[in-house]
Structures are given as C-alpha cells and as structure tokens.
Amino acid sequence: MNDASAEVNKPAADGEPPHAPHQANAPNQANAPHQPHKPHAPLAVFVSGGGRSLENLVALNTSGELEAPIGLVLSNRADAYALDRAALHGLPSRVIDAERALSPADFSTAAFAAAEQAGCGLVVLAGFLRLLVIPEQWRGRVLNIHPALLPAYGGKGYYGERVHRAVLAAGETQSGCTVHFVDNHYDTGPIILQRKVPVLPTDTVDSLAGRVFQEELHALPAAIRLCLDGKTPSPAAT
C-alpha cells in the first residue's frame, strides 16, 4: 500500500450556480455564532518499552499538530521507560499485571476498564507486547503500529529488531510500517495506512530500524487523526 497519510484537498461542491438566489429566511452566516471545536476524548496509550512513540505524540499535542490529548499511559511492565516519560510530562499511568498472572482475557478486561475510567475514547498500542482480547464495545477503537509492511513479517514473535533482521535476511528491497486496527490475534487486523522505505544493500538492523521509525513518527499520528475524524472504514468483525 502506498503512503495513505497524505491529505487530499476536497474540491468545492459541483453544480452550485455562481450567484445563488437570495433566501429571504436564510440565516446570516456572517453573524452566526461561532461553533467551538468539540474536543476529542483522550487517548489511552499502551506501552511495554522505551516510549519513543509516546514521546512523539506528546510533542505533537504540545505543538498543536495533533489534537489528541493523552488521558492514560498503561503498561504491562513496571520497568518500562515509557512510564518515566509519562511521569516527566505529568501523564497519569497504570501498571497492570507485571507478574503476568492474568490470562489474556482477564488482563484485557482490567486494561480496558482502566481506559474507560480515564474517559478515553481510543486506545493506541505503541510498542505494546501483550496479546489483547478486544471487548465488543472497543472494536474499531484500538490501533497498533507495526514496523513492517503487513501482512509480511507479522505475527507472534515479530517485533522490534526481530522484524528488521528477518527483512534483511530475506533480501527484501523495501520495508516500512503499518498502522492497523487490532483484533484478537497478532498483527492481523484491518490496515489503516502504511508507509514504505527502501532497504539498502548496506543496511544493518539498526540503520533499517532507524529509517522505518522515522516513518512511524508520521504514520501513527496520521492514523490517529483519521480515526478521530471518522475517516476510516469500520473494521469487519473478527
């Protein structure tokens, strides 16, 4: 899939006459009261690692490039550096089941209950490495970013450097990242958008990972905007 994050300017409606007839009872648009923008419900960002994508979302919110405040940072690991980033920015955070005592279903129930208690409307998996069971009411409201062009190099065990090492071992000439809706399996939900990068003959795991991550910095916020603006198709039930 080509880069789907580029925005397309929608032309004005066709067929309207250059001088529409005067409407005697039409409201005066110039004097109409300003309708303030209704803020979106906060995001819940689920993390397991360093939190670079979380840091990017915070920066974009601060600059005004993304209107998606973060209402909760949730992790399944107490030692995730992303929690330190959350504390630095004054974001509320929760750690659930760091001991991995809960089943996927019970963990998911607790995690989504925390998101609901925080008033969040969209869950973003940003380097989150635990299988979720998506409650029915959250279908179509959970996103994941994956460092490959799904469906290739996805599934259980494909994350982080493992993905890029596999791409290089296979001799691929391009890679990239994918943002997709999350279902009850690893990396199989409907794709929202992808961004591609070349794989160079001189690439190492680190150089390829760095190039892909630069595209992740654009792909994830673009997909969040699409979801918040209702511009993504409803994912099929899985």
Which sequence positions are flagged as catalytic? 146
Please tell me the pTM assigned to this model.
0.81
* pLDDT for residue 38: 55
Query: How sure is the predictor about 40, in pLDDT bands with cuts at 50, 70 and 90?
Result: confident
Does 6 score more than 70 pLDDT?
Answer: no
DSSP state letters, the chain: --B-----PPPPPTT--SSPPP-TT---GGGSPP-PPPPPPPEEEEESS--HHHHHHHHHHHHTS----EEEEEES-TT-HHHHHHHHTT--EEE--TT--S-HHHHHHHHHHHHHHTT-SEEEESS--S-----GGGTTSEEEEESS-TTTT-STT--THHHHHHHHHTT-SEEEEEEEE--SSTT-SPEEEEEEEEPPTT--HHHHHHHHHHHHHHHHHHHHHHHHTT-SPPPPP-
Query: How sure is the predictor about 9, in pLDDT bands with cuts at 50, 70 and 90?
Result: very low
Does 191 score more than 70 pLDDT?
Answer: yes
* pLDDT for residue 13: 39
Query: How sure is the predictor about 232, in pLDDT bands with cuts at 50, 70 and 90?
Result: confident
39-138 has CATH 3.40.50.170 classification: yes
Give me the chain's average pLDDT, please.
86
